[in-house]
Structure 1
Amino acid sequence: MADLTAAIRAMARNGIRLRFGGQPDTGVGASRFGGVPDVPAEFVWPVFETATYDDDDVRPRPLAFLAQFNCACLAPLDTDGLLPKEGVLSFFYELGSQRWGFDPADRGCARVFWFPETDALSPASPPEDLPAEYCLPAMGMALAAEASYPGAEDFYAGREDEIGDWEPYWEARAMLGIEDPDNRSCLLGWPDLIQGSFFRECELTDRGLYLGGLCPDLSPEEAQAERDAVQNWQLLFQLDTVEADGFQLMFGDCGRVYFCIRKEDLAARRFDRAWLILQCG
């Protein structure tokens, strides 16, 4: 058990815990959930061509604005120095279809923007065809750094020969005092998994493979990329059910959405290459 707890400690990543509610900071570039994004003058509101659960018509639909984060305020909490130290990170998702991310055709259902110059931003006006229920109410947020640890599937990824009874792993987590809350939204760190490890899904779907059925035959290069996915991909933003002040936003049945990005793309600030996964019970 001592070796197992040491191995878990060694895989710790820094994360930033998010709690939503209360009055938002309305200053330009301030971190907040919902409301309207602060964007540069040339910003074009993202759309995604899709039907929805309520409308079979396939047409371009505006993405909903989820949240924005002031990078300068995040910097003291981002102890691993992964995020930009200036500007604003903004997250969007098409809520009418709530795509899952296992289909290459899902590309564009979610978008991440980094606006480096906060002084050049101003509040955007949502498109007229964005349904009112997808114009999310503005809320404040509390942020705190916390240690984050992998779930069992991510812990054993790449060493499947060690997988047996997972009970010792969860016992070791409990010994370390690692909590597993029912609801957690965060930036960075490890994802809280609902339906198993999904970094391989990010890797293969991003390569154009459809994963909504039987696992496709993989080339040697694809198989190696799948094995390396847990080491090569990084959680960027995990958004759980948001419930505050009489408002609720839920993904599927008590699910979560996860914005993920390759570490090399994060380092190069290629946020347009982020990929979204939805999981629910």
Structure 2
Amino acid sequence: MPIPPRKFIMSLSILLILTLVAAVLLLRASPEKPGQNLPHTEAPSIPAEWPTIQALLEQNALPAIHIKLLKDKPTRASQSRFGGQAWWPAGKPYPTGKDGQPLVFLAQINFSELDGKLADYPSTGLLQFFIGNDDLYGMDFIDQTLPLERYLAMKKNFAVIYHREINESAPGAIPGAAAKPDELLPHRGETAIALSLGRDIANPSDYRFRKILAPLGDLSEASEEYAFETLSQSPTHKLGGYAAFTQEDPRGYAASGEEWQLLFQIDTDSNDHFEVMWGDVGIANFFIRKADLKTLDFDKVWYNWDCH
């Protein structure tokens, strides 16, 4: 039998290679069955001591107003909302920052929309939150150079305003700079929100978590991991309850005693009409002393946010 010419052998080799490539591409393009080749994530196993931990956390649960983003934009000026424009009464001075410029509206809570009442919080009226249009979103660092008490007494780049009465038919004009989107802001757009009363148990980032579980001694490594995996839920927006952080709770080192409680928390979140991002997927908190909340005095609020 004559030996095939070299060109013929090369042609066969090329044909074989092309056939193998086609087979590989065909296998990759074939539809996968549901769940095929998907990563399998197992639920964390429950540590043996967890029922005791859970019971102690439940015993120390706090009432809270939980907040969820809705799919729709607000339809009324005074409706509870994140972003957009604040309802504002005609003739009342609009909140300004250190530089005298209007602050940026962040959120408002209309307590008349709530079915029930949270202790020490108002049952009617509108509570609003404004922040600064700067690289720290109006926050100041509380440290040795700026102690908490001096911070509370100074002019700040954020504001918390409470309106006892709301005249829906006569909102005033909103300064244009206050609602103008800016690349420095953490939020864009607007969304309606839903309020519901509930209870809140401590998560590992709230400094009181360790105090609550102190009678049990040191937690096992398994319980530590389970606590972070199951109790550190996100996104979490609320009034009252326990605060959440990506770093650490500043009340654990910058404030004495337990007089400071969570007033309002807004997490990184989004929907079709609204998005908020605190730095690198962070979270913002507003704290108030119990005595000030009872008298509805929001002039001395402590504002903090952190991120990864």
Give the TM-score of the pair, scaled to structure 1: 0.73
Alignment size in residue pairs? 243
- Residue deviations 1:112-168, cap 9 Å, x none? 111001137743433233443359533111223332112233222499797644646
Alignment equivalent of 2:163, drawn from 102, 109, 115: 115
Q: Assess if the C-alpha contact under 8 Å between 1:16 and 1:143 holds in 2.
A: yes
2:167 matches 1:128: no
User: Which runs of no fewer than 5 residues in structure 2 stay unpaired?
Assistant: 1-48
Residue in 2 that maps onto 1:91: 129
2:291 matches 1:264: yes
Counterpart amino acid of residue 247 in structure 2: Q
Counterpart amino acid of residue 25 in structure 1: P
Offset, 1:172: 7.5
**CA RMSD for the aligned pairs?**
3.1
Q: Indicate the SS of the match to 1:183.
A: coil
Q: Equivalent pairs: percent with the same residue?
A: 26
Offset, 1:240: 0.9
Residue in 1 that maps onto 2:13: none
Offset, 1:28: 4.2
Offset, 1:107: 5.2
Offset, 1:25: 3.4
Q: Assess if the C-alpha contact under 8 Å between 1:258 and 1:278 holds in 2.
A: yes
Cα distance between partner residues in 1 of 2:220 and 2:100: 45
Counterpart amino acid of residue 155 in structure 1: F
Alignment equivalent of 1:140, drawn from 182, 187, 192: 192
Where is the strand percentage greater, Structure 1 or Structure 2? Answer: 1
Q: Assess if the C-alpha contact under 8 Å between 1:34 and 1:67 holds in 2.
A: yes
Q: Indicate the SS of the match to 2:97.
A: strand
Give the TM-score of the pair, scaled to structure 2: 0.68
Q: Indicate the SS of the match to 1:90.
A: strand
**Aligned positions of 1:245-260 closer than 5 A:** 245=272, 247-260=274-287
Residue in 2 that maps onto 1:156: 210
Q: Assess if the C-alpha contact under 8 Å between 1:63 and 1:93 holds in 2.
A: yes
Offset, 1:84: 0.4
Alignment equivalent of 2:270, drawn from 243, 250, 270: 243
2:79 matches 1:30: yes
Instruction: State the structure with more CA Rg.
Output: 2
2:111 matches 1:71: yes
Q: Indicate the SS of the match to 1:4.
A: helix
Q: Indicate the SS of the match to 1:266.
A: helix
Q: Assess if the C-alpha contact under 8 Å between 2:77 and 2:168 holds in 1.
A: no
